[in-house]
Structure 1
Amino acid sequence: MSSRPAPLTRRLARRLLPLGRFAKSQSATLPAFAVAAGDVQTLDDPAAFRSTLFALIAQASRRIVLVALYLQDDDSGRELLDALYAACARQPGLAVDIYVDWHRARRGLIGKAASEGNAAMYRDYAARLGDRVAVYGVPVQNRELFGVLHVKGFVIDDAVLYSGASVNDVYLARHGRYRLDRYHLVRHAGLADSMAGFAQRYLRDSDAVQRLSRSPLPSTRELQPAIRQLRKQLQHAHYQVPRHPLPEHGIAVTPIAGFGRSGNQLNDTLLALLREARQRVVLFTPYFNLPRPVRAVLGQLLRRGCTIDIMVGDKTANDFYIPPTEPFRKIGLLPYLYESNLRRFARPHRTHMLRGQLNLWLWRDGDNSYHLKGLLIDQEVAVVTGNNLNPRAWALDLENALVLRDPSHQLIGQHEAEWAALRRHATRLTDYHTLDNPRRYPLEVRKLLRRLSRVRLDRLINRLL
């Protein structure tokens, strides 16, 4: 008789036993840069992020490559451009490239009057100060609704400053308010080369990518053939990472990109890292709308006995929250949709919540907002990313992340300090009833939720958010 377990037995064993009994760790096979622990720094807050960014720019001598969703036409955006042009004046050989989303750069803010968007500021600076600072618009899809450039990372000489933040007043904590993200500084020439090379190879060299300081700009319709070609290239885009053996006490840092519903390396890696968890997972997301594969893996981890902490922003800490004292707009429905998603997730897991195995945290600090993303897994893996861990990021946006593997546990102090600081402004839910009852939502919100639910449009909206 064969000793091989039957399929049902194997599935049951996989639920009850650690995954390591069945498969070699996939994360251990990731190519990576070996970085000294002293060259990895977790920054405390938006003020530290801002001061580090401007200090690096002031010292730059060779290259600056900034990739973000947007660089806003406000005080912080103009301060950044001023600093970049000043750096160019000091260093004639300095090359400065900025990549932002094409659609986001050419429209005004949601809920505000129509405008030319941030591109008008880029044109103004180029007209006054020259074109040494190149700002590129990247259209990863034909419409913003169906996907944007969501890659993050600032490369300045041989330093990588990574955050999910873009550039505007609230991200850089100006004028008394802030939008909280995570902030990491990694000093490593190879990693910086890889991330700068990715931007040049897949973004700058594409016919779809345009200098936003130029006028007139082509229409998106004119760019559609080039955008289709760009999408094909991005589905196979990857960072150049060595496959050299890592030193025993180094930090393994792997940059990973992902785009599209299938064959998405970033999605596959995130799922593999979660499946390998043995004891503990900490998950950050600003908008609670987890993709189905992520929800399924979290359920498996709970059944295996892992402890899971999920931190999200309170609905009042959402970018789109509209206080009851202000006129309601339909965009203000989104925070309530996310809270409804959280309630639906928490309800079937109330037993796990009661015994402390599943901890749901709501972050709130005055009128500031929450924008954290990423993972902490056991005491060995950290994922820093701009990926919101939602269906949109999973299938539509161009995303990236840095995976930090620390088998010798040299970064534990940094991770635990970050986690403790975040919990100072967070409340742990004891039960799903702790969340606001939908019956107490504002009247306009209740009406919209009923309409959407009646025709199941809430499910479609969740897939696009």
Structure 2
Amino acid sequence: MALLYPRPSLEQLPRFPLSIESVQTLTCAADFRRTLLSLIGAARRRIYLTALYLQDDDAGHEVMAALQTAKQATPALDIRVLVDWHRAQRGLIGAAKQAGNAGWYRACSAGADGAIPVYGVPVQTRELFGVLHLKGFVLDDTVLYSGASLNDVYLHRHDRYRHDRYHLLHCPRLADAMVDLLRTQLLDSSAVHRLDEPQCPTTRQLRRDIRVLRKQLAACRYDDTHAVTPYHGLAVTPLIGIGRNNPLNRHLLDLLSSAREKVIICTPYFNFPKPVMREINRLILRGIDVEIIVGDKTANDFFIPPHESFKAIGALPYLYEVNLRRFAKVHRKALMRQQLKLHLWQDNGNSYHLKGIWVDDRYHLITGNNLNPRAFSLDLENALLIHDPKGEMAAQKQLELDTIHRHTRPILQHRELETVRQYPDRVRKLLTRLSRVRIDRLLYRIL
């Protein structure tokens, strides 16, 4: 049965006007780190950082130190850091049990440099069934938006980096709307607590409050009181959603179906939810040019090199490649005539985390949404839809795409991708076993 959703057309969405001078596209993680630290140092009214996590590593320490310095210089500065409740209270996948980043937050607040409030947001009673995946840093009237979290690899603090997308938008109305949602929907919730304070309730104690919060989030929207519509110039619409058939999902599908000439999609994990895959198939049938840029399996953040100790989580990049090969085989004719283009990103052991959609020269969707089943049904996600009816973003768009393509290779036919038989023994045996009992389908939905 086809997914039914209302279609207030994209042209009818309320939006905040922009000037081309107020939008800047950054093209690398190192620039992202420098820009974030510079904006923190320059802030005078407010700093709201929202990410999946702020990591206890060199880059995380650098960000925390910058926040503490900013607070000391301007005591009235309103600083709030929001991270996922569950992710903050565990170690890395495969590591021994530990206090996680929350232990470091508490140590920072107890130190001489003063407390920076770090709030844990639980959007579900278990991390497996939903996390805070909102993105966007608000610094005074500027929004720095990226799908990145805050750690060494996302901020390119040392040798390795994880490539994402990074955009600066100076727009007071947008900044106000994003802060208002954080304050009214999250910070005011009885389910949200500071992780930097010594006494913190357990998840079990918060179960009822978490259920109430999730129900409220399903109905929340960004405040568009000061937005305008119709508006026929460069503008931005913030979108938010959680759970199945939410407004963000519906507008994302509407965005794909609106294409007249070309669609470009970036995703780190080739595992589209059924409604997205259905729209992509329709685009190809309609003769629309479709380009999909995805990370090579070795550029996946779950990839484990064959010479290292194998863990089951390391099979995920191979599962995604199985999906990609199957898709390429189904659409081999479109690949041959270059209506469909597939690009694999790979850069010397660095990883790929790009998400987003470009439609014609009219729309640019920047988001932390992985465009996978988990994002479409479990996590709290958001996005910024940039309306560009006059093509004012064309130069920035091309610069960003050129930077991405610098490390990609085209896939011209499905046979260029490895088969399960060619995978390392441990991977091949695990995937064969999972496929027999169809557990792989469950994994696709939750990872």
Asked whether the two chains share a fold, i.e. TM above 0.5, the reply is: yes
Offset at residue 132 of structure 1 (A): 4.4
One-letter amino acid of the counterpart of residue 207, structure 1 = S
One-letter amino acid of the counterpart of residue 45, structure 2 = R
Contact 1:96 1:132 in 2 (8 A): no
Contact 2:142 2:168 in 1 (8 A): yes
Contact 1:71 1:118 in 2 (8 A): yes
Contact 2:14 2:230 in 1 (8 A): no
Q: For 1:131 and 1:97, how far apart are their aligned partners in 2?
A: 14
Q: Secondary structure at the match of 1:223?
A: helix
Offset at residue 194 of structure 1 (A): 0.4
Q: For 2:165 and 2:211, how far apart are their aligned partners in 1?
A: 33
Moved more, 192-201 or 212-221: 212-221
Q: Match for 1:244 among 228, 253, 262?
A: 228
Alignment of 1:77-116 (within 5 A): 77-116=60-99
Aligned pairs, number? 442
Contact 2:108 2:115 in 1 (8 A): no
Alignment of 1:180-329 (within 5 A): 180-241=163-224, 242-245=226-229, 248=232, 250-262=233-245, 264-329=246-311
Q: For 1:36 and 1:240, how far apart are their aligned partners in 2?
A: 21
Which residue number corresponds to residue 46 of structure 1?
29
Q: Match for 2:158 among 157, 175, 180?
A: 175
Alignment of 1:320-339 (within 5 A): 320-339=302-321
Contact 1:171 1:178 in 2 (8 A): yes
Q: Match for 1:346 among 303, 318, 328?
A: 328
Q: Match for 2:133 among 150, 153, 157?
A: 150
Which residue number corresponds to residue 438 of structure 2?
456
Q: For 1:121 and 1:159, how far apart are their aligned partners in 2?
A: 28
Q: Secondary structure at the match of 1:235?
A: helix
Q: Secondary structure at the match of 1:133?
A: coil
Offset at residue 180 of structure 1 (A): 0.2
Contact 2:242 2:380 in 1 (8 A): yes
Q: For 1:55 and 1:183, how far apart are their aligned partners in 2?
A: 15
Offset at residue 245 of structure 1 (A): 4.0
Contact 2:132 2:379 in 1 (8 A): yes
Offset at residue 268 of structure 1 (A): 0.3
Contact 1:252 1:404 in 2 (8 A): yes
Which residue number corresponds to residue 364 of structure 1?
346
Deviation string, structure 1 residues 32-74 (Cα, Å, up to 9, x no partner)? 0001111011001001111110110110000000000000000
Contact 2:12 2:229 in 1 (8 A): no
Q: For 1:437 and 1:233, how far apart are their aligned partners in 2?
A: 45
Gaps of 5+ in 1: 1-10, 12-22
Contact 1:88 1:132 in 2 (8 A): no
Which residue number corresponds to residue 159 of structure 1?
142
Offset at residue 237 of structure 1 (A): 1.1
When the two structures are superposed, what TM-score results if normalisation uses the length of structure 1?
0.93
Offset at residue 321 of structure 1 (A): 0.5
Contact 1:165 1:181 in 2 (8 A): yes
CA shift in 2, pair 1:24/1:108, >3 Å: closer
Q: For 2:68 and 2:114, how far apart are their aligned partners in 1?
A: 9
Q: For 1:93 and 1:414, how far apart are their aligned partners in 2?
A: 36
Please say which structure displays the higher CA radius of gyration: 1
Offset at residue 103 of structure 1 (A): 0.3
Offset at residue 208 of structure 1 (A): 0.5
Q: For 1:247 and 1:383, how far apart are their aligned partners in 2?
A: 18
Which residue number corresponds to residue 17 of structure 1?
none
Q: For 1:330 and 1:298, how far apart are their aligned partners in 2?
A: 30
Deviation string, structure 1 residues 365-416 (Cα, Å, up to 9, x no partner)? 0010000001000001000000000000000000000000100110011111
CA shift in 2, pair 1:453/1:24, >3 Å: closer
Which residue number corresponds to residue 427 of structure 1?
409
The RMSD of aligned alpha carbons is 1.4
When the two structures are superposed, what TM-score results if normalisation uses the length of structure 2?
0.97
Q: For 1:171 and 1:257, how far apart are their aligned partners in 2?
A: 23
Q: Secondary structure at the match of 2:383?
A: strand
Which residue number corresponds to residue 16 of structure 1?
none
Contact 1:256 1:400 in 2 (8 A): yes
Moved more, 272-281 or 108-117: 108-117
Contact 1:25 1:276 in 2 (8 A): no
Q: For 1:129 and 1:323, how far apart are their aligned partners in 2?
A: 42
Offset at residue 240 of structure 1 (A): 0.7
Q: For 2:300 and 2:13, how far apart are their aligned partners in 1?
A: 34
One-letter amino acid of the counterpart of residue 244, structure 1 = V
Deviation string, structure 1 residues 179-206 (Cα, Å, up to 9, x no partner)? 0000000001000000011111111000
Contact 2:48 2:81 in 1 (8 A): yes
Q: For 1:464 and 1:213, how far apart are their aligned partners in 2?
A: 29
**Identity in percent:** 53
Q: For 1:132 and 1:366, how far apart are their aligned partners in 2?
A: 39
Q: Secondary structure at the match of 2:263?
A: strand
One-letter amino acid of the counterpart of residue 157, structure 2 = R
Gaps of 5+ in 2: none
CA shift in 2, pair 1:243/1:61, >3 Å: closer
Q: For 1:193 and 1:129, how far apart are their aligned partners in 2?
A: 32
Q: For 2:283 and 2:73, how far apart are their aligned partners in 1?
A: 54
